[in-house]
Amino acid sequence: MTLKEVQEQIIEEFEIYEDWMDKYNYLIELSQGLPALDHKYKTREYIIDGCQSKVWLYAEMDGNIIRYTADSDAIITKGIVALLIKVMSGRSPEEIKDADLFFIDRIGLKDNLSPTRANGLFSMVKQMKLYALAYFTKQQKL
Amino acid sequence: MLDVNKIRNDFPALDQMVYGQPLVYFDNGATTLKPTVVVDTLKEIYSKRNSNVHRGIHYLSLRMTEEYEEARKRVRKFINAGSDREIIFTSGTTASINTISSTFGEEFVKEGDEILISAMEHHSNIVPWQILAKRKSAILKVIPMNDKGEIVMEKLDDLMHEGTRILAINHVSNALGTINPVKEIIQKAHKENIPVLLDGAQAIPHGIVDVQDLDCDFYVFSGHKVYGPNGIGVLYGKEEWLEKLPPWQGGGDMVEKVSFEKTIYADLPFKFEAGTANYPGAVGLAKALDYIDTLGKDRITAYEKELLNYATSRLSGIDGLKIFGTAANKISIVSFLLEGIHQEDTGMILDKMGLALRTGTHCAEPVMTRFGIDGTVRASLVFYNTIEEIDRLYEGLIKLKQMFK
């Protein structure tokens, strides 16, 4: 699936939930399905600075693609993290670094991901793209 | 008895839906809503009466100056200060504390001296003193609290000695709701010749402040937490202290005479009010204080006590809910956590149920560290809140627990 397609699929999934509570229940469900982050990465070094909940993010190259794993100590945040990983993980650094994440607005999570909000999620998107940019730059040099 | 339904009509913000639910506003500790009379006053000033104070000789300026100085008198009366000269208008609690940490610090604090604060301070009553301590190579000391969130008074005695220059402590804790025994603390400090600054940001809206009775040397608070406008605050200081302190910021209005060789500073209170005063804010604040006095401080205190008792007993009945801050003497703040559920999750879900609560450290990180937690969920209630709203919080929390099972 392309970056665009996977986002459209998420938007479709969310469209069936009219009620906010159902949306959040779905995010809780998603959080439970997020593959576990290796404990050794749950350290200060991999933490994304946010005001309230903690988010840890790890990235590694697997051939030509980046694989992300992450965790959070708050469930809703972890659900949103799971969404971001679903969209971004397994793509090339070049694709990720310029990714247009239009799904955030469309599923009504803009409040959760806006840069003014005091949590780590906006920083998480930024950090994912920074990893991609770093890997991309490295690829260009080879 | 307060007629809460009637009072609620004075706060149009209460009458709105969020996410399809009637709003429950329990974030009063962060900022209170504004009664119509305050909003109307600001609107009238900006649309009809606006003119800079203390400078003009024309009609509007003279009238505005009168209103501004009346507002000062109004504040003096509200906190029962001895003189108008002791009431300085600032931009808020933080600015008031910084004024004292800078000026008092400059004049009276030297290398090796100690500054005493408590373990339950808001960052605004920690950081300015840290900056001062660093600047003067002084030492910041902290009075501990017990598990209920009360000051350990015996430790206070040990921490005060000859080298202690000032004691800065909150009247009421914003994170826990504790009302500190400040009168007793001040008496103890004065015996050791230590002046006391009280951070009254959370105490002032609950109508429990009498600076002469407390005998505090400085008292500071913000307008926006007492139903007044943003950007206005108060620094009360005993005249004898304010006379001894140098000005903080230089500029217009705080001077008597200026030449390039020498400037003579204006008298109190203007010495500490550099630049164009926030006269709309001051007049709006005076209106808010009028409003509170119309309702009656005693009636407010009694009703808010009722809200606190009801909220405490209702929330305590929820399995796995822990309240942080169980002091014997509290204002209507309930800080809590649900076992196994992050405060951010709780806050986000409650928000979608139309309930506005604060989550996080409440700008009092050391308080959270003291209890070994990252943060709490805080319901801060005031006189326009109701028993029914507390029931909605209770029901919301029960539903939320189901979601996270």
Residue in A20, A51, A77 closest to B352 by CB: A20
- Of B344, B349, B375, nearest to A24 by CB-CB distance is B349
The closest CB to that of A52, out of B349, B352, B360, belongs to B360
Would the CB atoms of B342 and A75 count as touching at under 8 Å?
yes
Element (H, E) at B252: none
B81: closest CA of chain A, how far (Å): 39
Q: Mutate which of B17, B344, B398 to disrupt the A interface (most A C-beta within 10 Å)?
A: B344
Which residue in A has a C-alpha nearest to residue B21's C-alpha?
A20
Compute the count of residue pairs across chains A and B with CB atoms less than 8 Å apart. 41
Which chain B residue has the Cα nearest residue A72? Answer: B342
pLDDT, average across residues B127-149: 98
Query: Smallest Cα–Cα separation from B96: which of B66, B133, B122, B115?
Result: B122
Distance CA B4, CA B12 (A): 14
Residues B258 and B158 in one domain: yes
A26, A30, A53: best mutation site toward chain B, by most B Cβ within 10 Å?
Answer: A53
Cβ of residue A26 closer than 8 Å to a chain B Cβ: no
Strands B196-199 and B218-222 turn out to be: parallel
Q: CA neighbours within 13 Å on the CB side: how many for B275?
A: 7
Question: Would the CB atoms of A118 and B344 count as touching at under 8 Å?
Answer: no
Residues B354 and B227 in one domain: no
- Whether chain B has a CB inside 8 Å of the CB on A52: the answer is yes
Closest partner residue to B404 (CB to CB) among A73, A75, A118 is: A75
Rounded to whole angstroms, how far apart are CA atoms B267 and A139?
69
Complex ipTM: 0.87
- Can you tell me whether residue B288 is helix, strand or coil? helix
| Per-residue model confidence (pLDDT) at position A115 | 54
The pLDDT of residue B156 is: 96
Q: Per-residue pLDDT for A142 more than 90? A: no
Task: Determine the residue of chain A that is closest to B403 in CA distance.
Answer: A25
Structural domains in chain B (count) = 2
Looking at per-residue confidence, does B398 or A45 come out higher? B398
Shortest distance between the Cα of A90 and any Cα of chain B, in A, equals 28
Radius of gyration for the alpha carbons in chain A, expressed in angstroms and rounded: 15
What is the mean predicted confidence (pLDDT) over B338-342?
Answer: 96
Mean pLDDT, all residues of chain A = 88
Predicted local distance difference test score (pLDDT) of residue B279 = 97
Q: How far is CA B381 from CA B33, B203, B289, in A?
A: 12, 13, 18
Domain C-terminal end among B293, B318, B344: B293
pLDDT tens by residue, B283-321: 999 999 999 999 999 999 999 999 999 999 999 999 999
Does residue B320 share a domain with residue B385? yes
Kindly list the residues from chain B whose CB atom is less than 8 angstroms away from the CB atom of residue A51.
Answer: 360
Q: Where are the alpha helices (DSSP H) in B175-278?
A: 182-191, 211-214, 239-244
Catalytic residue IDs of B: 363
Digit-coded pLDDT (tens) for B89-120: 999 999 999 999 999 999 999 999 999 999 99
Q: Give the Cβ contact number of residue A78 at 10 Å.
A: 22
Burial level of A106, CB count in 10 A (0-12/13-18/19+)? middle
In DSSP notation, B27-68 reads BTTT-----HHHHHHHHHIIIII---TTT--SHHHHHHHHHH
Question: Domain spans of chain A?
Answer: 3-141
What is the pLDDT of chain B when averaged over all its residues?
Answer: 96
Helices (H), chain A: 3-15, 20-33, 75-88, 93-97, 103-106, 110-113, 121-141
Q: Closest CB to B375: pick one of A28, A52, A77.
A: A52
Kindly determine whether residue B360 and residue A20, on different chains, have CB atoms separated by under 8 Å.
no
Nearest to A118 by CA among A24, A55, A34: A55
State the pLDDT confidence band at A139, using cuts at 50, 70 and 90. Answer: confident
Same domain, B193 and B284: yes
Q: For position B262, what pLDDT does the model report? A: 82
Same-domain status, B176 and B211: yes
- Is the predicted pLDDT of residue A50 greater than 90, yes or no? no
Q: Is B215 helix (H, G, I), strand (E, B) or coil?
A: coil
Range in A14-23, A55-64, B172-181, B347-356 the model is least confident about: A14-23
Task: Report which secondary-structure segment, H or E, holds B94.
Answer: helix B93-108
Chain B CA closest to residue A80: B345
B272, B297, B314, B341 from A49: Cα distances, Å? 38, 43, 35, 20
Is residue B77 within 8 Å of B330, Cβ to Cβ?
A: no
Peptide bond into B269 cis (omega under 30): yes
CB B344 to CB A24 under 8 A?
no
Average pLDDT over residues B329-337: 98
Own/partner pairs for B338-342, CB < 8 Å, 24+ apart? B338/B377, B338/B397, B338/B400, B338/B401, B338/B404, B340/B404, B341/A75, B341/B400, B341/B401, B341/B404, B342/A53, B342/A73, B342/A74, B342/A75, B342/A77, B342/B374
Which residues of A are less than 8 Å from B348 in CB distance? 24, 76, 112
Write out the two tokens for B301.
């205190």
DSSP characters for A113-137?
H-TTSSSSHHHHHHHHHHHHHHHHH
Would you put residue B178 in left (φ > 0), alpha (ψ -120 to 50) or beta? beta
Query: Are B153 and B198 contained in the same domain?
Result: yes
Lowest mean pLDDT among A49-53, B209-213, B299-303, B314-318: A49-53
Residue of A nearest to B358 (CA): A52
The C-alpha atoms of residue B363 and residue B370 are separated, in whole angstroms, by 14
CA atoms of B33 and B25, how far apart (whole Å): 9
B248 and B343 belong to one structural domain:
no
CA nearest to A31 within chain B:
B404
> pLDDT tens for residues B353-405?
999 999 999 999 999 999 999 999 999 999 999 999 999 999 999 999 999 98
> Tokens at residue A56, please?
């840890």
With respect to residue B35, please indicate whether it lies within any of the assigned structural domains.
no
C-alpha distance from A57 to closest chain B C-alpha (Å): 19
Nearest Cα of chain B lies from the Cα of A105 at a distance, in angstroms, of 17
pLDDT digits (tens, 9 = 90+) for B50-70: 999 987 889 999 999 999 999
The residues pairing with B88 across neighbouring beta strands, listed in sequence order, are B235
Contact A52 B343 (CB under 8 A): yes
pLDDT tens readout for residues A84-136: 999 999 999 999 999 999 998 888 777 666 555 555 677 888 899 999 999 99
Give the nearest partner residue to B403 out of A25, A53, A54, using CB atoms: A25
> In which band, very low, low, confident or very high, does the pLDDT at B6 lie, cut at 50, 70 and 90?
very high
CB contact under 8 A, A24 and B348: yes
Report yes or no: A7 and A102 within 8 Å, Cβ to Cβ.
yes
User: How much is the average pLDDT of B151-170?
Assistant: 96
Q: Does B69 lie in the same domain as B90? A: yes
CB atoms within 10 A of CB B342: 25
Other Cβ atoms closer than 10 A to B369: 12
Whether residue B330 is contained in a domain is answered as yes
CB B226 within 8 A of CB B32: yes
Q: Are residues B302 and B254 in the same domain?
A: no
Q: Which CATH number fits domain A3-141: 3.90.1010.10, 3.40.50.1980, 3.90.420.10, 1.10.10.10?
A: 3.90.1010.10
CB-count exposure of residue A57 (10 Å: 0-12, 13-18, 19+): buried
Same domain, B149 and B289: yes
The distance between the two most distant Cα atoms of chain B, rounded to a whole number of Å, is 73
The two structure tokens encoding residue A127: 């950090």
Which domain range does residue B14 map to?
Answer: 4-30+296-403
Tell whether B9 and B44 lie within a shared domain: no
Give residues with Cβ within 8 angstroms of A105, minimum separation 6.
none
What pLDDT shows up at residue A51? 56
Mean pLDDT of B335-360: 95
Residues B260 and B314 in one domain: no
DSSP at A61: E
Instruction: Collect all residues of chain A within an 8 Å Cβ-Cβ radius of residue B349.
Output: 21, 24, 76
A114 touches chain B (CB under 8 A): no
Percentage, residues of chain A above pLDDT 90: 57
Q: What is the mean pLDDT of residues B190-210?
A: 95
What are B33-54's pLDDT values in tens digits? 999 999 999 999 999 999 999 8
Q: Kindly list the catalytic residues of A.
A: 51
Question: What CATH number does residue B312 fall under?
Answer: 3.90.1150.10
Set of chain A residues whose Cβ sits within 8 Å of the Cβ of B344: 52-53, 74, 76-77, 119
Over residues B218-231, mean pLDDT: 98
With vertex at residue B112, the alpha carbon angle to CA B111 and CA B115, rounded to the nearest 5 degrees, is: 100
pLDDT at B405: 86
